[in-house]
């Protein structure tokens, strides 16, 4: 790995997360992949180690890090299992809008428990008819006195059912299109807020992906993030800071696959010598390693840019997510190839990484949407 000039605290986060990944996550990854149970014992271990607080300001009980710290933790944990890591990474997706747009009261109310890992968060925008096209949101929020009444269904929600704190995007004024969307903080247990179908997925099976159902769910008006009509902007700004996290999940999965494939190539004997001595395998490993390092460099640079306070980061953030997830898909596929027949078997972890990698090209904006964002910004910059 290249030297990224990490500071003492970042190195500490990296080393501790590496230890957790090796000692607590790796031994259980295959089991959780099989059973699809939510990894609460690992949530507890991460909480005890203060990992949930890495990027939450100290005044709310965190360690005061930024996006880079979330990325470092996500990468290390994902080396052992990209699915289990989501309990952490998706909680940050859920709490990022509160960090970015919450008022002091909301931050004081929600962040300390999330920093301590006592509670998990989730973010909910996707609906059956609204994926990449957020303007298709059907969930409504009607004002009624001191409350908003929510009706509708969100689906494919990561940490759904397991999280306590949800940021939900609903239409408070349908006539305004995207400008009519509002972000609400909802709590598990609120009247009219229930959970529906749990998805059976190709990969990241240790992560809960579930429906949220709102039936005349009353949300107090002080639970609005920012103000009415800001839902779409909050979503876009949240994705700007969360996409390097998805990229880090992809990076971790890829780096884990690269390490396993390199190790295996030195052990596997064919034609009387380790397959690592064949140029065909060497070149594959060389390409994989180069792409993994390039993804890491892009992610770290983007995270540092965000942490330095640069305002316009959509393009770089999209680039990091696009490149790292495409890299993860390619590297994990090549890792299966290097493992040969064994790579295809469920008894070995190579195929799981390939299944886990695929989602990173799809969620938090498909890679086609990422390219749209990049191109739009590119053209805008040229037109200035």
Partner 1 sequence: MNNILVCIKQVPDTSDVKINPETNTLIREGVKSIINPFDMYAIEEAIRLKEKFGVKAVALTMGPPQAEAALKEAISMGIDEAYLVSDRAFAGSDTLATSYTIAKAIKKIGEFSVIFCGKQASDGDTAQVGPGISTHLDIPQVTNVKKIEEINTTTARVERMTEEGFEILEIPLPCLFTVVKEINEPRLPSLKGIMRSKNAKIQLLNAAKLDIEEDRLGLKGSPTLVSKIFSPQRRKSGEIFTCAAEEAVEKLVNALKNYIH
Residues that bind partner 1 (CB under 8 A): 9, 12-13, 16, 19-20, 23-24, 45, 48-51, 53-54, 63
Instruction: Please tell me the distance from the alpha carbon of residue 83 to that of residue 87, in angstroms, as a whole number.
Output: 8
| For partner 1, the closer CB: 47 or 260 | 47
Question: Shortest approach of partner 1 to residue 99 CB, angstroms?
Answer: 18
- Structure letter (DSSP) for residue 199: P
The three-point CA angle 82-83-84 to 5° equals 100
Pick the closer one to partner 1 by CB: 24 or 237: 24
What's the closest the beta carbon of residue 236 comes to partner 1, in angstroms? 31
187 among known catalytic residues: no
CB contact set of 24 (below 8 Å; sequence gap of 6+)? 41, 42, 45
Minimum distance between the CB of residue 78 and partner 1, rounded to whole angstroms? Answer: 18
**Which residues on neighbouring strands pair with residue 149, listed in sequence order?**
142, 218
CB of 13 to partner 1, least distance (A): 7
Among 104, 228, 364, 381, the one annotated catalytic? 364
140 in Cβ contact with 134 (< 8 Å) = no
Virtual torsion, Cα 72, 74, 77, 78, nearest 10 deg:
-120
Question: Which residues are CB-neighbours of 169 under 8 A, at least 6 positions away?
Answer: 124, 125, 134, 137, 139, 181, 182, 183, 184, 231, 232, 234, 235
DSSP state of 130: B
55 or 314: CB nearest partner 1 = 55
For the annotated catalytic residues, the residue numbers are 364
């Amino acid at each position: 790995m290249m030297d990224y000039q990490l500071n003492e605290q970042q190195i500490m986060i990296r080393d501790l997360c590496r230890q957790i990944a090796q000692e607590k996550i790796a031994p259980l990854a295959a089991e959780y992949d099989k059973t699809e149970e939510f990894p609460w014992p690992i949530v507890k271990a991460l909480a005890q180690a203060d990992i949930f607080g890495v990027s939450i300001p100290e005044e709310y009980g965190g360690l005061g890090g930024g996006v880079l710290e979330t990325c470092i933790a996500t990468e290390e944990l994902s080396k052992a299992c990209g699915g289990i890591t989501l309990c952490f990474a998706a909680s940050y997706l859920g709490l990022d809008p509160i960090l970015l747009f919450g008022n002091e009261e909301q931050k004081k109310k929600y962040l300390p428990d999330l920093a301590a890992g006592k509670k998990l968060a989730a973010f909910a925008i996707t609906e059956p008819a609204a994926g990449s096209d957020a303007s298709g949101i059907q969930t409504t929020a009607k004002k009624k006195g001191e409350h908003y009444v929510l009706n509708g269904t969100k689906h494919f929600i990561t940490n759904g059912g397991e999280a306590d704190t949800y940021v939900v995007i609903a239409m408070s004024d349908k006539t305004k299109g995207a400008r009519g969307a509002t972000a609400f903080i909802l709590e598990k247990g609120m009247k009219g807020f229930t959970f529906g179908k749990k998805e059976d997925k190709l990969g990241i099976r240790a992560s809960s992906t579930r429906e949220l159902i709102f039936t005349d769910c009353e949300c107090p008006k002080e639970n609005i993030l920012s103000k009415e009509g800001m839902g779409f902007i909050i979503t876009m700004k949240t994705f700007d800071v969360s996409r390097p996290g998805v990229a880090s999940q992809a990076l971790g999965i890829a780096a884990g696959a690269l390490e396993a494939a390199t190790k295996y190539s030195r052990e596997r004997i064919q034609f009387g010598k380790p397959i690592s001595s064949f140029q065909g395998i060497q070149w594959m490993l060389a390409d994989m390693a180069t792409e993994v390092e390039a993804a890491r460099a892009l992610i770290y640079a983007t995270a540092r840019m965000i942490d330095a306070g640069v305002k316009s980061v959509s393009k770089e953030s999209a680039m990091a997510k696009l490149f790292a997830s495409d890299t993860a898909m390619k590297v994990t596929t090549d890792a299966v190839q290097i493992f040969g027949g064994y790579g295809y078997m469920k008894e070995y972890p190579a195929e799981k990484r390939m299944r886990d990698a695929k989602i990173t090209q799809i969620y938090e904006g498909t890679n086609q949407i990422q390219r749209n964002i990049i191109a739009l910004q590119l053209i805008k910059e040229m037109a200035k």
